[in-house]
Amino acid sequence: MSGFAGIVRIASSAGSAEADRLAIERMARAISFRGPDSLHQTQPKGAWFAFSLLKAGPAPQEAWQPCTLDGETWFLGEARCDGRDGLIRKLGQHGTQVPPTATSEQLVLHFFAKFGQAALPDLDGDFSFVLWKPQELRLLAFRDLTGSRPFFYVHRGGTLCFSNTMQAVISHPSVDRREYDAQFIGDFLLGSPHHDPESTVYRDIRRLPAGHVLEFSPKGLAVHRIANFPIEELLDKREGEVIEEFRRLFSQAVADRLPSGDASILLSGGLDSTLIAAEAVSLRKQQSSAGTLSLHALCVDFLPLFNDEEGYYASRFAQAFGIPLQLVHSGDALPFAGWESSVSSLPEPLMDPYSLLYLSYRKKLSRNSRVVLSGDGGDEVLRLEAAPYLRYLLKQQGLVRALNVFAQWIVSNGSLPPLGFGLRSGFLRLLGRQPAELMYPPWLASDFEREYRLTDRWRRICLPRDSTHPFNPKAHNAIHSGFLGDVLELCDPVWTGVPLETRNPFLDRRLCRFLLRLPVIPWAMNKHLIRVSQVGILPEEIRRRPKTPVRQDPLVLHAASRRWNPVPTEAPATFLRRIVDWPKVLSSLECASGTSLYVHLRPVALSHWLNAVEKDHRIE
């Protein structure tokens, strides 16, 4: 993930030009860690840009940005195009001849020149970039629907400051690091910091939401949604055709993301990551006559805290496929370990007490490669519930058809499919028991609660996400809503601090469109499609292995072991004292049990971050 940053000023003067030059120098230093291959600054008309290059491949990349084809439209940012051959053919069919060696940046410029702004969502791949038209003093920024590439900005009057790295935007003199967005912090304490997808912890800095475009010109600034995942009709194919098409599309997804050099894989003992790893090995063997795989894997388990089998299965898989595996036992790592010394490096607060531990795994991976393949998205698109699909069949094809599909699954598998009618959760609510994530915090200060209407906001947060998809709402919503972008952003160098690009084959747009059209029963029941498509490819012990979520919660076990006390001894951050009843936080933690600990530790995690930031301010 290369780094980019820019400052665009509609009306410039000698004084403002010098201020912008100094500011872009600071922003360039802030993005330098993302791109070890080059770092430079440029001054096209009306703007200052900085770019740091990370060569990741496999497609050609521009060594210098901003880049242009005609001198009228300039590209600055990140672009990784999927399906390059098809994109080049499409451009050729419309009169634009593009050589196979064209860079991803050139492909985006050609595509924009031929089809315009409205067609940007038709590009397959990962994108976060700006297109600058100096003659019009007009800037267009686009972030694709997966949201895996971030974009942050500050807008003040006739000036726009932006970057894919929050630390660069924070470094701009116009940003006051002492002014927080109280609504974001309220949402954080409620357990949903990205409820407003445009907000950040800083009052001055905004996020460009996934699937949105930003336009900046003398007319002002406007942000609107441009990308929507299509809803397409149910696919009617025979079993063999479905399996063949899945294998083809999945192979394409991995091939487009697999660099020609070293690559890493986040490996578990489950289906998603082993499927990616097996395909990567197959592709490597096709590409390399010398037989060198240049693949590395990392697996994390919770030994010795409890009997975690992930490392066992991952090790057996890695040995069978000849992939070097680094196995990390993390069971002894305590909650909030290392936060005192490292949490200030985070651009925003994080809720999970193990956040720094998870980020440290990315740092291990960066020692071997610049690209890591991850199985994120597999659960969202292939481990679904039967109820919406059965309702659809009942409505469209009648009761007999719905019952027949339901019965066929039971006969074939000897069990009910996961239904998702909400019967269990509804029963628990009747008993007055709610999941920890739906527990309203009892320690919010009443003035803060009232000023930001947090009880009303909490009710909206708890409402199920809307989806108009007729038979696969869960998967469609996960891809379409921006939810995955919130998760994937945490894999970005903004958070990890290392030049490592995470790529997710299961979120390939071509593959997702195919999967969303499949009948949920049988294909998305317990990842049936993966299991039947990998006969003879994945080891049987993994192919047949049921989904095994972590049976014991490390946080709960660490609290019960008394090796770690969830009740903090340090004083809360100054900012926190007026918005949280701290004595009530402490008393809640003293009597907390089970996963309710996560709720009552939110203000503790926030206090850790605020204290670290305030300490940095005092040092400055």
The per-residue pLDDT for range 433-473, each reduced to its tens digit, is: 445 557 899 999 999 999 999 999 999 988 877 778 999 99
Sequence-ordered list of residues with C-beta below 8 angstroms from that of 546, at least 6 positions apart, any chain:
526
Sequence-ordered list of residues with C-beta below 8 angstroms from that of 540, at least 6 positions apart, any chain:
none
Banded model confidence at residue 418, pLDDT cuts 50, 70, 90 = confident
pLDDT at 437: 57
- Omega cis (within 30) before 99: no
Average pLDDT over the chain, rounded to whole? 90
Q: Which domains does the chain have, with CATH numbers?
A: 3-225 (3.60.20.10)
Sequence-ordered list of residues with C-beta below 8 angstroms from that of 610, at least 6 positions apart, any chain:
349, 573, 574, 575, 576
Tallying the residues shown for the chain, one arrives at 620
pLDDT at 593: 82
pLDDT at 289: 59
Q: How far apart are CA 204 and CA 439, in angstroms?
A: 30
CA distances from 105 to 79, 182, 299 (A): 6, 38, 34
Q: How far apart are CA 230 and CA 24, in angstroms?
A: 39
Banded model confidence at residue 478, pLDDT cuts 50, 70, 90 = confident
- Angle of helix 271-287 versus helix 310-321 axis, rounded to 10: 10
Q: What is the percent of the chain with per-residue pLDDT over 90, rounded to a whole number? A: 72
Predicted model pTM: 0.93
**Mean pLDDT in residue range 273-296:** 86
Strand partners, 215: 140, 222
Per-residue pLDDT for 291 more than 80? no
Chain centroid to Cα 220, Å, comes to 30
List, for residues 316-363, the tens digit of each pLDDT value: 999 999 999 999 999 999 999 988 888 888 999 999 999 999 999 999
Q: Which two tokens stand for residue 81?
A: 């195009």
Chain centroid to Cα 593, Å, comes to 30
Q: Which two tokens stand for residue 343?
A: 């949490």
Task: Count Cβ atoms below 10 Å from residue 322 Cβ, excluding itself.
Answer: 12
List, for residues 111-166, the tens digit of each pLDDT value: 999 999 999 999 999 999 999 999 999 999 999 998 989 999 999 989 999 999 99
> Which of these ranges, 225-234, 293-302, 304-313, 549-558, has the smallest mean pLDDT?
549-558
